[in-house]
Amino acid sequence: MKALCWNGTNDLRVERVPDPVLVNPHDVIVKVALSSVCGSDLHLIDGYVPTMRPGDIIGHEFLGEIVEKGPEVRYLNRGDRVITVSIIGCGHCGHCRHGESSLCDNSNPNPDYARTAYGHCGAGIFGYSHAFGGYAGSHADYIRVPYADFNAFRVPEGVSDEKAVFVSDAVPTGYMAADMAGIKPGDMVAVWGCGGVGQMAIRSAYLLGAERVIGIDRYPDRLRAAQMKVGAETLDYSRVDVFDALQAMTGGRGPDVCIDAVGMEADSASNAVEDLYDRAKQAVGLQTDRPAVLRQMIESCRKAGTLSIVGVYGGVIDKFPMGAAMNKGLTFRMGQQNGQRYAGRLFEHIRNGDLDPSYLMTHRLPLDDGPQAYRMFKEKADDCMRVVFAPQG
Ligand SMILES: [Zn+2]
Ligand SMILES: [Zn+2]
């Protein structure tokens, strides 16, 4: 089959690779109809995620049709149109049973790297390095899905492929950011990053009762989408001081909830010295992640407010303002998404018309265009929010 493979930093190639086969009795094979790029793929492409190997297939947000199933798959059938949560749970460990499937004890067959780096090992992720299980990704004609009954969800009648595909990853990640922040009616929420996840975090914050949501970015098309599609007020951080602007908008209090939908490659266009410092430290390996957004959230958040982090971080950061966080009594919530817990609720919102993520798909392209498509996505050229590959045409 055809697949988009990682071959080194900024080196993606479309290659012929063997078709996947059923390995365990709980597996299914999905024929991929749509597979989206994700901001977290850029960390792989930019070489910030260790344990990638040449030939690894990337991609983790996808929709398709089940074409084969193992003998222990009970609830799904051949021919079902499904989305699959990008982070793999086993469905029966304590974490999976408590709605924390991204912390699954069983789905990562290579736990040693995470145990050494993090103390404990979390779940496997499709197309996201050998430290996260070495699972082949979805930018391919076919993909193997383990623990299929737990991870794959039948798309309800009346929900289009274009809406459903983002229930794999962007929608539940944004929703979880809002949900774990404990948003209450009347809250004022600020969201850093207006890419796919940030857009969904904005919409989710409103669904959970937020009164005002402010999206922060510097790309005009993303800011426009945040206003027009999900009703945010917006700040362009390359033009205004974010702290000052947020205080002015909240009578000097600061937002109740601050959401990070950016992660480790944050930049700080408003502060050249800080940006240079973070990039230099990262380049020589003295920090793995650039924490500009985290610093800004800690400074801006109201006292006793909540920071909710779904942008991906990999390792260690420098100059973290712990004193401000502690003395302001801030609460930190964070984690990889637990989409299995949210998929049913999110499909209901889509069916009711409360949520329509299909506008995230600004480009639909064949898999052969993969390398150029990722370049366009990375450079945010042509107002690209998300490219979605359609391997079957
Ligand atoms: Zn993702
Ligand atoms: Zn589990």
Q: Give the chain's mean pLDDT.
A: 95
Say how many Å lie between the CA of residue 227 and the centre of ligand 1: 23
Per-residue pLDDT reduced to its tens digit, 211-261 = 999 999 999 999 999 999 999 999 999 999 999 999 999 999 999 999 999
Q: How confident is the model at residue 270 (pLDDT cuts 50, 70, 90)?
A: low
Say how many Å lie between the CA of residue 282 and the centre of ligand 1: 22
What backbone torsions phi and psi does residue 65 show, to the nearest 5 degrees?
-115, 135
Say how many Å lie between the CA of residue 298 and the centre of ligand 1: 24
Say how many Å lie between the CA of residue 346 and the centre of ligand 1: 17
Q: How confident is the model at residue 17 (pLDDT cuts 50, 70, 90)?
A: very high
Say how many Å lie between the CA of residue 328 and the centre of ligand 1: 31
**Percent of the chain at pLDDT above 90?**
88
Ligand nearest to the CA of 310: 1
Cα Rg of the chain, angstroms: 20
Per-residue pLDDT reduced to its tens digit, 34-65 = 999 999 899 899 988 889 999 999 999 999 99
**How far, in Å, CA of 31 to CA of 229, rounded?**
31
Do strands 124-125 and 257-260 pair parallel, antiparallel, or not at all (unpaired)?
unpaired
According to the model, what pLDDT value does residue 16 have? 98
Per-residue pLDDT reduced to its tens digit, 322-372 = 999 999 999 999 999 999 999 999 999 999 999 999 999 999 999 999 999
In our burial notation (b when 16+ CB lie closer than 10 A, e otherwise), range 286-317 reads ebbbbbbbbbbbbbbbbeebbbbbbbbbbeeb
Tell whether the model's pLDDT for residue 269 goes beyond 70. no
Say how many Å lie between the CA of residue 127 and the centre of ligand 1: 10
Say how many Å lie between the CA of residue 316 and the centre of ligand 1: 21
Ligand nearest to the CA of 173: 1
Ligand nearest to the CA of 96: 2
Structure tokens at 179: 């949900």
Per-residue pLDDT reduced to its tens digit, 156-202 = 999 999 999 999 999 999 999 999 999 999 999 999 999 999 999 99
